[in-house]
């Protein structure tokens, strides 16, 4: 019975590792890099909405519930950006109403909605990037080329969550011995303890690296990712989709001119290039589809 339980447990671990490590880190990095670049270059609301949907679905499949909670807090920022543009920019011919004698135009409002949608899509994909491209993958990719820069970037990325976690531990410890957590003066005491802890850990890490001979020999990684045939196929398909997307951006199929007049027929007319839209959808959803079929294959 215990052996059966252990076999099921190992199978679940195998499925989880397959789902999270089914592709080479270089392919994952190029995928995220391409998505972020396309989100910046594409200004069409349908493309951006599809990108946001893919990012939310990716976080759901990765069970990154923290990212899904953070996206809720970005909704007020989305509303603020949408309302700010008509208050600053008064371009457009369709005036909805006047605010302090300044026209509030429909074109400026839709342009602000589009900018807010870009912000939401970029924020969601950066959360996906942080979930997949972990510190070990980032170090594996860039340490052989830029060892000092990669080490510094990894330490910077690690610093913020480390400070938050250590501050919470110190604050809970002070509360356990009877000290208040809400007092403003106590916050400075916790901050002082966190900074002291960071400096002490830095000194200990530096001494440990020096004693172990860091920098005296060729740098190696404790993870060994190998290229597989599936990685080359995914890289080829992503390059194929990226070619059509770049051609669509160059031909103006992925942009909407909101000024001087905007209409829904004008937005739909810019979607005449179906190959660009399907190429963008394939670029977004390819890793999720591959992981889905791999999960089904290993379940059977």
pLDDT at 184 over 50: yes
Same domain (yes/no): 37, 139 = yes
Rounded distance between C-alpha atoms, residue 224 and residue 259, angstroms: 52
What mean pLDDT is predicted for residues 5-29? 55
**Number of folded domains that form the chain:** 2
**pTM > 0.75:** no
Among 170, 191, 220, residue at a domain's last position: 220
Q: Which residue has the higher pLDDT, 279 or 14?
A: 279
Asked whether residue 232 is domain-assigned, the answer is no
Same domain (yes/no): 198, 75 = no
Q: Hey, what are 110's tokens?
A: 């839709």
Same domain (yes/no): 158, 136 = no
Asked whether residue 251 is domain-assigned, the answer is yes
Asked whether residue 8 is domain-assigned, the answer is no
Range of the domain at 208: 147-220
Asked whether residue 234 is domain-assigned, the answer is no
pLDDT at 251 over 50: yes
Bridge partners, residue 95, by sequence: 105
Same domain (yes/no): 162, 203 = yes
CA angle 53, 66, 27 (to 5 degrees): 60
Same domain (yes/no): 99, 168 = no
Q: Tell which residue, 21, 9, 54, 11, has the closest CA to residue 230.
A: 21
Asked whether residue 2 is domain-assigned, the answer is no
Asked whether residue 280 is domain-assigned, the answer is yes
Rounded distance between C-alpha atoms, residue 222 and residue 270, angstroms: 49
In the chain, % of residues over pLDDT 70: 79
Lowest mean pLDDT of 1-5, 85-89, 200-204, name the range. 1-5
Residue with tokens 């027929």: 265
147-184 per-residue burial string, b: 16 or more CB within 10 A, e: under 16: eeebbeebeeeeeeeeeeebbeebbeebeeeeeeeeee
Q: What is the pLDDT of residue 11?
A: 38
Asked whether residue 59 is domain-assigned, the answer is yes
User: What mean pLDDT value characterizes the chain?
Assistant: 76
Asked whether residue 66 is domain-assigned, the answer is yes
Rounded distance between C-alpha atoms, residue 270 and residue 119, angstroms: 22
Same domain (yes/no): 116, 160 = no
Same domain (yes/no): 284, 190 = no
Bridge partners, residue 97, by sequence: 104
Same domain (yes/no): 137, 30 = yes
Q: What is the pLDDT of residue 261?
A: 66
What mean pLDDT is predicted for residues 61-88? 78
- Phi, psi (rounded to 5 degrees) for 256: -125, 130
Q: Hey, what are 281's tokens?
A: 């959808």
At 187, which helix (H) or strand (E)? helix 184-211
Taking each continuous run of H as one helix and of E as one strand, the counts in the chain are 12, 2
Q: What is the pLDDT of residue 128?
A: 86
Rounded distance between C-alpha atoms, residue 295 and residue 291, angstroms: 6
Q: Which residue has the higher pLDDT, 231 or 294?
A: 231
Three-state DSSP state, 256: coil
Same domain (yes/no): 81, 179 = no
Same domain (yes/no): 136, 180 = no
Q: Tell which residue, 174, 70, 169, has the closest CA to residue 122.
A: 70
Give me the long-range contacts of 57-60 (CB less than 8 A, separation at least 24).
57/285, 57/288, 58/128, 58/287, 58/288, 59/124, 59/127, 59/128, 59/131
Q: Hey, what are 133's tokens?
A: 């491209």
Residue with tokens 């509303």: 79
pLDDT band at 18 (very low <50, low <70, confident <90, very high): very low
Lowest mean pLDDT of 24-33, 61-70, 178-187, 239-248, name the range. 178-187
pLDDT at 9 over 50: no
- Phi, psi (rounded to 5 degrees) for 179: -85, 145
Among 220, 249, 264, residue at a domain's last position: 220
Among 191, 220, 249, residue at a domain's last position: 220
Q: What is the pLDDT of residue 276?
A: 84
Same domain (yes/no): 131, 280 = yes
Same domain (yes/no): 292, 209 = no
């Amino acid at each position: 019975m215990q052996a059966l339980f252990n076999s099921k447990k190992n199978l679940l671990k195998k499925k989880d590792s397959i789902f999270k490590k089914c592709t080479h880190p270089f392919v994952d990095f190029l995928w995220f890099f391409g998505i972020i670049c396309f989100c910046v270059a594409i200004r069409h609301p349908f493309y951006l909405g599809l990108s946001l949907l893919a990012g939310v679905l990716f976080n759901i499949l990765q069970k990154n519930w923290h990212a899904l909670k953070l996206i809720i807090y970005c909704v007020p920022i989305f509303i603020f950006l949408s309302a700010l543009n008509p208050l600053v920019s008064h371009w457009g011919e369709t005036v909805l109403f006047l605010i302090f004698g300044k026209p509030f135009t429909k074109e400026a409002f839709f342009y602000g909605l589009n900018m807010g949608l870009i912000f939401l899509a970029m924020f969601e994909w950066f959360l996906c990037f942080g979930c997949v491209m972990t510190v070990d993958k980032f170090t594996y990719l860039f340490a052989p080329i830029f060892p000092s820069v990669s080490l510094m970037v990894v330490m910077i990325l690690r610093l913020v969550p480390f400070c938050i976690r250590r501050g919470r531990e110190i604050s809970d410890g002070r509360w356990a011995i009877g000290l208040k957590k809400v007092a403003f003066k106590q916050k400075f005491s916790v901050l002082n303890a966190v900074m002291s802890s960071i400096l002490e850990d830095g000194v200990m890490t530096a001494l440990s690296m020096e004693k172990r001979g860091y920098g005296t020999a060729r740098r190696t990684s404790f993870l060994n990712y190998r290229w597989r045939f599936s990685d080359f196929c995914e890289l080829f398909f992503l390059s194929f989709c990226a070619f059509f997307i770049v051609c669509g951006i160059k031909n103006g199929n992925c942009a909407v001119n909101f000024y001087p007049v905007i209409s829904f027929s004008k937005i739909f007319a810019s979607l005449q290039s179906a190959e660009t839209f399907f190429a963008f959808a394939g670029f977004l959803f390819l890793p999720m589809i591959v992981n889905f079929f791999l999960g089904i294959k290993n379940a059977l």
